[in-house]
Amino acid sequence: MFDGFWDNVIRYQRYFISTLLGLLLNTFAPVIPLLKRPITSIAIVGIFVGTLVFLTFTLRAMLGLSTT
């Protein structure tokens, strides 16, 4: 009944990792050519940093964490 149990567990982990990598590659592949130009790369980095700061402040406010 449990003959291939650990083999299946390892197989699901590999499936999860390969699916996640495929999703990330397909998501960021269109952005890579935009990073070759300085203006668009600055804009993309700015949007990324702005999103990260926005999420940080939002989560701090939602969780009631003080900044001091």
pLDDT in tens, 21-61: 999 999 989 989 988 999 999 999 999 999 999 999 999 99
| Among 21, 43, 17, residue whose Cα is nearest residue 31 | 43
- Residues in CB range of 67: below 8 A, 6 or more apart: 60
Q: Domain map of the chain by residue range?
A: 1-30, 31-68
**Looking at residue 22, what is its pLDDT?**
96
Mean of pLDDT values over 2-13: 84
Model confidence at 5, in pLDDT bands (50, 70, 90)? confident
Res. 67: pLDDT tops 70: no
Model confidence at 1, in pLDDT bands (50, 70, 90)? low
